[in-house]
Amino acid sequence: MNLIMSSKNKLDRHYYLAFCINVVGTLLAITFARLIAHSNAYLYTWLASLWFIGLFSYELKTYHHYLVTQRQAFKQHWIANLSLSVLTTIIAMGLIYVSRQLFFNQFIPQPPLPELSPSVETIPGMLTALYAGVINLIVAIFEEIAYRHDLFYRYRSSKGLTIFLLIITNLGFGWSHYYNFGGSFLATTPYALAGIIFSIVYLWRRNLWIPIIAHLIFNAQSFIGAVFLLIFHLIH
């Protein structure tokens, strides 16, 4: 319970370990999955998903009580909180788009590292894409628990440390998406900026479900797209 609820004023061993697991561990897991799968997008999707399922399971087990308590608080003003989640998503998406177009896309290597995505022209490909969409929703939840709460909000007692972690932790959040940006750490900065928005909203409203839902909305794009593709294919 102390790990979950307490507010610390200095970094501890838990922070460094959690940072390494969520940032370095994620990069290593995805790298190994790519090396093993080579160009097989199906194998890559299933291998990479195991890491994310493991992180999600750990975070859910560790913070289950806190999440339930936060959800109850969210429901007390659910219209205002849900509206803020939607607004947060819009601001984050706009910030990502503008910052990429104006500056950060230039850092994506040419040619970029190839994305390993299954073809959606076949039923197995559509089902795999649908599975990947579900994993993206799981990722949204565990990333908010990890980056917004475990690696940031728990250290809010110190103003200086809070500002420091607002930058460092969200840079780590961005770096963990290295492969989403063709293999460039600098190009991941727009995601770090979005993470800062999520963190500020959490710090302001003190309810983790607001950024969780915002992140779920953001990550739902691939899931919704896969669902529509599958329905369209089945109908026709």
- Beta carbons of 228 and 129 less than 8 angstroms apart: no
* Cβ atoms of residues 234 and 127 within 8 Å: no
| pTM, 2 dp | 0.93
Where in the chain are the domains? 12-235
Taking only the tens place, the pLDDT of each residue in 183-211 is 999 999 999 999 999 999 999 999 999 99
218 neighbors 140 (Cβ within 8 angstroms)? yes
pLDDT tens sequence across 152-182: 999 998 899 999 999 999 999 999 999 999 9
Which of 64, 223, 33, 84 lies closest to 142, judged by CA?
64
- Average pLDDT of the residues in 79-85: 98
33 within 8 A of 171, measured Cβ to Cβ: no
Instruction: Return the pLDDT at 1.
Output: 42
Burial class (CB in 10 A: 0-12, 13-18, 19+), 122: exposed
